[in-house]
Amino acid sequence: MRIAMIGTGYVGLVSGVCFSDFGHEVVCVDRDQSKITRLEAGEVPIFEPGLDDLLARNVEAGRLRFTTDLPEAMKGADAVFIAVGTPTRRGDGHADLSYVFGAAEELAPLIEHYTVVVTKSTVPVGTNAEVARRIRATAPDAPFDIASNPEFLREGAAIEDFMRPDRVVVGVTSEKARAVMAEIYRPLFLRETPMVWTTPESAEMIKYAANAFLATKITFINEIADLCEKAGADVQQVAKGIGLDGRIGSKFLHPGPGYGGSCFPKDTSALAQTGREFASPMRIVETVIEVNDARKRKMVDRVAEALDDRLAGKRIAVLGVTFKPNTDDMRDAPALTIVPALIGSGAEVRVTDPQGRKEGEALLPGVSWHANAYEAARDADALLILTEWNEFRALDLARLRGSMRGEVMIDLRNVYHPQDARAAGFRYSSVGRA
């Protein structure tokens, strides 16, 4: 199959590279000439483990190309995927669909033979129908069908998620479009990957419902963690006890400073707005958004409490600022709320993160950056763990404590056992453990 992928952001680039590894001929197109130049040179503009090697292999095999020329990318394409950004729109919290609609209108006059136009971007219910309407308005005689194919990629594990997904969701309106999409995903049939064939509207809703449910699980266990602290229970034991129930499952039951990233904040906001538009309020989702936003601010109070409510003049070493490990993504990361608040309270903040500095230097003015945890912790009054990178999981606690002038560790990811931290001389604070 020949595939054109519009957009070389996270979703578009990962999807395009992985489709080419399936054996398809893929052309990724983007308006950003600097990004295309970097990709043509083999430089991946995002951090995703294994993506650079996979990209290089398929470029060398002749299955993967990059261009700024949409007409060139569309030539002979069996399917064109729209994988552009849908950020939160200012003012109302809805998804900004201007990039999606712009791509649809730009590709419409370039359709020369039957093509399936696939929306890969995360879009609210009804968007695919509007994409189809706009294509027909621009090119009334264009032979095409529309399809919705939402992504379910976890940053840091995207290649594995694409190659061995829990399921593939495809919303189509014709058997002809279904046949094209089935051929594109045929390599996964050999692994008996579940395929959910449905309507575009249901596919759109599946994506939002999945992310909202996961965000709800995170928020639920965070509130349980708060109650555990006051009641003398251990949230990790509680999470294990409920997670063994097959109806609940253990994933996303890890308490912390709140969810962030490129998906959950904007998708819960968009779903809540969609509910309001259809006069069907998403009250649980609206509460999840409110509680999660408050939790990030609450973590600042937790740090202050650990330092006896005296932040001014304190030197705090922060381990990790990306919203999760194995990514350089800082969109809506808890650090973007917590770190500026600490600085605003008069604290000096020293940061280390394996991949966060590239984005973090612009997003976190006023911090100093350090190569590793030991350098960041030198002469610090407190150590704050915000992101559970693997390299922070087995630190020499005695060495850390020995280099600090204070004794406080605030572990917002429950990386360490309390007894181990205390044995190393720390005054230790974690989440959901008495």
pLDDT recorded at residue 174? 97
Q: Single out the residue of 26, 27, 53 nearest to residue 42, CA to CA.
A: 53
State pTM to two decimals: 0.93
CA distances from 125 to 107, 195, 272, 334 (A): 22, 20, 12, 29
- pLDDT digit string (tens) for the chain, length 434 residues: 999 999 999 999 999 999 999 999 999 999 999 999 999 999 999 999 999 999 999 999 999 999 999 999 999 999 999 999 999 888 788 899 999 999 999 999 999 999 999 999 999 999 999 999 999 999 999 999 999 999 999 999 999 999 999 999 999 999 999 999 999 999 998 889 999 999 999 999 999 999 999 999 999 999 999 999 999 999 999 999 999 999 999 999 999 999 999 899 999 999 999 999 999 999 999 999 999 999 999 999 999 999 999 999 999 999 999 999 999 999 999 999 999 999 999 999 999 999 999 999 999 999 999 999 999 999 999 999 999 999 999 999 999 999 999 999 999 999 999 999 999 999 999 999 97
What's the total number of domains in the chain? 2
Which of 163, 198, 233 is a domain's end point?
198
Residue 325, annotated as binding a ligand: no
Instruction: Judge contact between 169 and 201, C-beta under 8 A.
Output: no
pLDDT recorded at residue 93? 81
Distance CA 115, CA 195 (A): 21
pLDDT recorded at residue 89? 85
Indicate if 279 and 183 belong to the same structural domain: no
Indicate if 175 and 249 belong to the same structural domain: no
Tell me the angle at which helices 10-21 and 51-60 cross, rounded to the nearest 10 degrees: 50
Indicate if 95 and 43 belong to the same structural domain: yes
pLDDT recorded at residue 270? 95
Residue 266, annotated as binding a ligand: yes
Contacts 24+ apart (CB under 8 A), 223-231: 223/291, 224/255, 224/432, 225/255, 225/431, 225/432, 226/432, 228/432, 228/433, 228/434, 229/431, 229/432, 229/433, 229/434, 231/434
- Bridge-based pairing of strands 144-148 and 168-172 is antiparallel
Indicate if 46 and 116 belong to the same structural domain: yes
Indicate if 379 and 355 belong to the same structural domain: yes
DSSP code at position 182: H
Here the CATH number for the domain that contains residue 432 is 3.40.50.720
Which residue is it, tokens 């971007």?
121
Residue 253, annotated as binding a ligand: yes
Indicate if 193 and 206 belong to the same structural domain: no
Indicate if 235 and 375 belong to the same structural domain: yes
Instruction: Judge contact between 383 and 410, C-beta under 8 A.
Output: yes
CA distances from 225 to 188, 232, 253 (A): 39, 10, 10
Indicate if 158 and 277 belong to the same structural domain: no
Which of 139, 174, 198 is a domain's end point?
198
418 C-beta neighbours (distance < 10 Å), count:
17
Residue 2, annotated as binding a ligand: no
> What is the domain range of residue 150?
2-198
Please count the CA atoms within 13 angstroms of the CA of 209 that sit on its side-chain side. Answer: 8
Indicate if 286 and 157 belong to the same structural domain: no
Indicate if 276 and 406 belong to the same structural domain: yes
The H or E element containing residue 269 is: helix 264-277
Distance CA 238, CA 228 (A): 9
Residue 324, annotated as binding a ligand: yes
Instruction: Look up 263 and say whether it is catalytic.
Output: yes
Residue 348, annotated as binding a ligand: no
Indicate if 64 and 158 belong to the same structural domain: yes
Give the CA angle between residues 11, 17, 22 to the nearest 5°: 120
Which of 169, 198, 227 is a domain's end point?
198
pLDDT recorded at residue 396? 97
Please count the CA atoms within 13 angstroms of the CA of 376 that sit on its side-chain side. Answer: 24
Distance CA 297, CA 248 (A): 28
User: Which one from 18, 28, 228, 263 is the annotated catalytic residue?
Assistant: 263
Residue 255, annotated as binding a ligand: yes
Indicate if 182 and 205 belong to the same structural domain: no
pLDDT recorded at residue 211? 97
